[in-house]
Structure 1
Amino acid sequence: MSARGTTGRAAGTAQEAGDSDGLEHLARVGLLAFGLVHLLVAWLALQLAWGGGAGESADQSGAMRTLAESPLGKPLLWVVAVGLIALAVWQAAEVLRWRHGWSASGKTRTKALRKSGNALVKAAVYVALAVLAIRFATGAGTSSSQQQQETTSGVFSWPGGQWLVAAAGLVLVGVGAWHIRKGLNKHFLKQIDTSDASPGAVKLVTRLGQIGFPGKGIALAVVGGLLVYAAITFDPSKARGLDGALHTILELPFGRILLTLVAIGIAAFGAFCFVRARYPERT
């Protein structure tokens, strides 16, 4: 069988997987899970801002630990993990779905590469969160900030590791800026099909996106800034992840107010994911 035929069959399989009703329903569960994680992070950030979160990390690991300690928490964590894995598979199918455009020219190729790159990044994020959920479900969860510091320390030992950490930080700053821009110009509306939505629903999605994307973007940009600072100082303890980023915001002038606003933004992004689960992806 020719390589082209094999590739065509793989792309067809991916198309079938992406169009599977079962996978679509699981992906919607994943979006709900993704939104729930953001809502929990926002709640932990508010507790941090107003003095009630001294013992819990205000990040994804803190959110997973909060779920694990709740009634029926561990079974719920398995549901979260399965949903996030389904989202990752959904995004992997997107990569193959756009593969035909890689060899095209002009805007078609640019769009295909952009869509594929975005899908790969999203898939990686969903897999990482799914692994985190599984670890907490099995009692082996650890702090995300601690893991990031250990990873950064390991990368520093590589040739050019300091530059790699700085580059990763700059990428995160850029992703944060992209989220902020996406919220301000309402570009997120171009990615979902709301043609069947009522005017009230469209207004709700728009408002949540306008608040949620900038809120998440600010948090990501600060995380990236801390990575760059860790690279400049050659100190992995400065790479403190999302929890460290929120603590950094709290230490600024009017930190409580700023952190509260960021928490509201993260909560709005979580609510956006809940509403987003209702609408299909625009191709």
Structure 2
Amino acid sequence: MSESVRNAASDAGDHPVVRTGARVGYAASGVLHLLIGWIALRLAWGGGSGSADQSGALAELGSTPVGAVLLWVVTAGFVLLGLWQITELVGADEAKDKVKSLGKAVMYLVLAGTALRIAAGGSSGGGDAQTSSLTGTLMAQPFGRVLVAVVGAVVIGVGIHHVVKGARAKFLEDLRANPGRWITRAGRLGYIAKGIALALVGVFFVVAAVQADPEEAQGLDGALRSVLELPLGSVLLTVVALGIVLYGVYSFGRARYAKV
């Protein structure tokens, strides 16, 4: 890649609008995780409704008195955070950094699309239904079950990475300054809880591949609901839900201290 392209990407990433927008995006992620955790807590104790995933959280946000305005802010934040990740992708030297930035860019832009659809009055779509549909599409391809198993293994790997990142507080490397004791503690527990939830999602993909049944694949909502089927399921889901809330708290600290 030419040096001029790298310089252009660096200039774009350093633009005040993109940098500020990226911080808004991290704050939007905080709001999202607070809502997911809240929905999961209600689920744990049999109250309320909603889907404990990103789509459900955005739909719940849209149902608040100021939801329409907040959804547009969230959309803008995720778009700019996705664009910032693209500038990081272009400027990265190592392949693993490029893959990580690409994955994050896609994730944030997809979230922006979901928020935009809800803000415009559309449906949030069912996260688990979309997951099963995607799994069915993959299985229809040559070596489809292998592809689904690989997806599951990758998601499990990402979950384990989150757990390790939380346990070792390696998330502090993403920040330009130490955010303080309480944000650090929230980050530790939040990353571990989110990692456990992601690993569960990955396990369901592997099970779907083994059983050749796309319906076995579950998104975040389905994975969290599966915790209720375990002994002391309500207690376990409460712990995970509170951890997701803490990840949201950490995300607000990241919005302030992130290296952007």
Question: Per the shorter chain, which TM-score range?
Answer: over 0.9
Aligned residues, how many? 259
2:88 aligned partner? 94
> Does the alignment pair 1:160 with 2:137?
no
Q: Which residue is equivalent to 1:182?
A: 165
Question: Which structure 1 residue ranges, 5 or more long, are not aligned?
Answer: 102-111
How far apart are 1:115 and its partner, in Å? 2.1
User: Residue type matched to 2:111 in 1?
Assistant: L
Structure-1 separation of matches of 2:86 and 2:28: 18
3-state SS of paired residue (1:277): helix
In the alignment, the residues of structure 2 paired with residue 116 and residue 202 of structure 1 have an alpha-carbon distance, to the nearest angstrom, of 30
Partner of 1:45: 40
Q: 2: CA distance between counterparts of 1:239 and 1:75? A: 34
Is 1:24 the counterpart of 2:7 in the alignment? no
Cα deviation, 1:177-218, whole Å, max 9, x if unaligned, reads 110011111111122111xx5xxx421231011110000000
Question: Quick check: 172-181 or 122-131, which moved more?
Answer: 122-131
Partner of 1:134: 116
Counterpart selection for 1:213 from 165, 186, 191 = 191
Counting only pairs closer than 5 Å after superposition, residues 108-147 of structure 1 correspond to structure 2 as 112-140=94-122, 141-147=124-130
Alpha-carbon separation, structure 1, partners of 2:212 and 2:62:
35
Aligned to 2:203: 225
Aligned-pair distance for 1:86?
A: 0.5
RMSD (Å) for aligned C-alpha atoms: 1.3
Shift of 1:44: 0.4
Counterpart CA distance in 2 for 1:143 and 1:122 is: 21
1:108 alignment counterpart: none
Q: Kindly provide the amino acid, as one letter, of the partner of residue 15 in structure 1.
A: S
| Residues 186-265 of structure 1: pairs in structure 2 closer than 5 A | 186-194=169-177, 201-265=179-243
> How big is the shift at 1:70?
1.2
- Structure 1 Cα separation of the partners of residues 142 and 116 of structure 2: 33
After superposition, the Cα gap between the structure-2 partners of 1:188 and 1:26, relative to the gap in structure 1 and judged at 3 Å, is same
Q: Report the AA paired with residue 102 of structure 2.
A: L
Over the matched positions of the two proteins, sequence identity in percent amounts to 43
Match for residue 81 of structure 1? 75
Alpha-carbon distance between aligned partners in 2 of 1:232 and 1:113, rounded to the nearest angstrom? 31
Distance in 1 (alpha carbons) for counterparts of 2:40 and 2:22: 27
Q: Aligned letter for 1:143? A: G
Give secondary structure in 1 for the equivalent of 2:257. Answer: coil
Cα distance in 2 for partners of 1:216, 1:280 equals 19
Q: CA deviation at 1:113?
A: 2.4
What's the CA shift for 1:72? Answer: 2.4
Greater C-alpha radius of gyration: 1
C-alpha displacement at 1:120, in angstroms? Answer: 1.1
Given the two structures, how large is their TM-score scaled by the length of structure 1? 0.88
1:118: Cα distance to partner? 1.5
The Cα of 1:122 is off from its aligned counterpart by 0.9
